[in-house]
A = this chain, B = another copy of it.
């Protein structure tokens, strides 16, 4: 299907450039349109990346989002939610950085995961011998798809909604957090594994409202010495990260935070992760 090799295009471009005395002409690598497989996804700062995707593995629109799992030659299976890179089989570093493996001690701890439908975080946290984990995911279809096609990430944790020391609640996490507050229940760790921080010019709109609301509710459910762990955005979006940090400093409960970054293979860029705790602890 490839009519002209890039090599030939480059050669032609060079000859044209030479003839015209242009030192800076550049042939663009081809953009493939109209293929049954869509291969172009942006970085957080909207740069164009072409992935080596060779197969659509799963495609379904759930009540909440478009679920797409494709196969990449270099990454393995890759989950996209509403066309946003979510997790690939090469992204253990994502989960390990989110949970700060080796830096946090989860043994005997009570943990809530907000979101986390791909099951990778639940799977990795269970290896750390926690007392109990509740995962609250709204979209059962994501879990079904992940359990089948991202099994190297989630193991068998999504096969059942209840294990020895964990349970998966299929619900809106705002409802569940409100119930916890009413019941006076609290946790050692809360993971925000929900929507990314949006790239926007000001911290308004429903996603920002959602993020602020989740943070506030979580602080109420968190034990005094507990920690809220979450992903931020690409390191290439400093303004968006700063905006998130400003939301943190304006919460009703005063908090402090640390952050760190890791290169996430399926994002093809550095990603920033946050650890947030209540001040004076």
A180 at the interface (CB under 8 A from B): no
Partner of A29, one of B40, B66, B265: B40
| Complex Cα gap A199–B270 (Å) | 29
Residues of A within 8 A of B (CB): 5-7, 10, 23-24, 26, 28-31, 33, 38-43, 45-52, 59, 61, 66, 73-74, 83, 198-200, 235-236, 263, 265, 268-270
| Complex Cα gap A241–B199 (Å) | 40
Contact B270 A74 (CB under 8 A): yes
Write out the residue numbers on chain B whose beta carbons fall within 8 Å of the beta carbon of A270. 74
Contact A29 B50 (CB under 8 A): no
Nearest residue, chain B, Cβ from A23: B61
- Not counting A24-B38, A26-B40, A48-B50, a sample of 12 additional A-B residue pairs whose C-beta atoms are within 8 angstroms of each other reads A5-B46, A7-B199, A23-B59, A23-B66, A26-B83, A29-B40, A29-B42, A40-B48, A49-B49, A49-B268, A73-B236, A268-B268
Report the copy number of this chain in the oligomer: 2
If A38-B24, A74-B270, A236-B73 touch, whether A46 touches B29 (CB-CB below 8 Å) is yes
Write out the residue numbers on chain B whose beta carbons fall within 8 Å of the beta carbon of A269. 74
Write out the residue numbers on chain B whose beta carbons fall within 8 Å of the beta carbon of A23. 59, 61, 66
Write out the residue numbers on chain B whose beta carbons fall within 8 Å of the beta carbon of A41. 29
The minimal Cβ–Cβ distance linking A19 to chain B, given in whole angstroms, is 15
| Complex Cα gap A73–B45 (Å) | 11
Nearest residue, chain B, Cβ from A199: B7
Write out the residue numbers on chain B whose beta carbons fall within 8 Å of the beta carbon of A26. 38, 40, 83
Write out the residue numbers on chain B whose beta carbons fall within 8 Å of the beta carbon of A52. 43, 45, 47, 236
Contact A28 B7 (CB under 8 A): no
The minimal Cβ–Cβ distance linking A59 to chain B, given in whole angstroms, is 8
Contact A48 B30 (CB under 8 A): yes
Nearest residue, chain B, Cβ from A235: B74
Nearest residue, chain B, Cβ from A14: B82
Write out the residue numbers on chain B whose beta carbons fall within 8 Å of the beta carbon of A83. 10, 26
The minimal Cβ–Cβ distance linking A223 to chain B, given in whole angstroms, is 37
Contact A50 B47 (CB under 8 A): yes
